[in-house]
Copies of this chain bind each other. A is one copy, B any other.
Amino acid sequence: MISKQQIKTIHSLRLKKFRDESNLFLGEGPKVVKELLQSFSCTFLAATPSWIDANRHILPPGINCIAISADDLGRASLMDAPQQVLAIFNKKPSQLPSAHAMQSELCLALDTIQDPGNLGTIIRLARWFGIDHIVCSPETADIYSPKTVQATMGALGKVNVAYTPLPQWLCSLPGDIPIYGTFLNGSNIYEATLTPNGIIVMGNEGRGISPQVADCISHRLYIPPYPLGQPDIESLNVGIATAITCAEFRRRLSAAHQ
Contact = CB atoms under 8 A, between A and B. Distances in A.
Q: Which of A125, A227, A235, A240 has the most CB of B within 10 A?
A: A240
Nearest to A155: B233
Interface string A3-21: 0000000000000000000
A224 interface: yes
Contacts of A158: 232
A124 to B, nearest CB: 6
A190 interface: yes
Interface in A240-257: 240, 243-244, 247-248, 250-251, 253-255
Interface residues of A, number: 38
A39 B225 CA distance: 21
B121 A255 contact: no
Nearest to A124: B237
Contacts of A240: 121, 124-125, 239-240, 243
Interface string A124-136: 1101111000000
Contact of A223 (B190, B228, B230, B247): B247
B128 A255 contact: no
A174 to B, nearest CB: 24
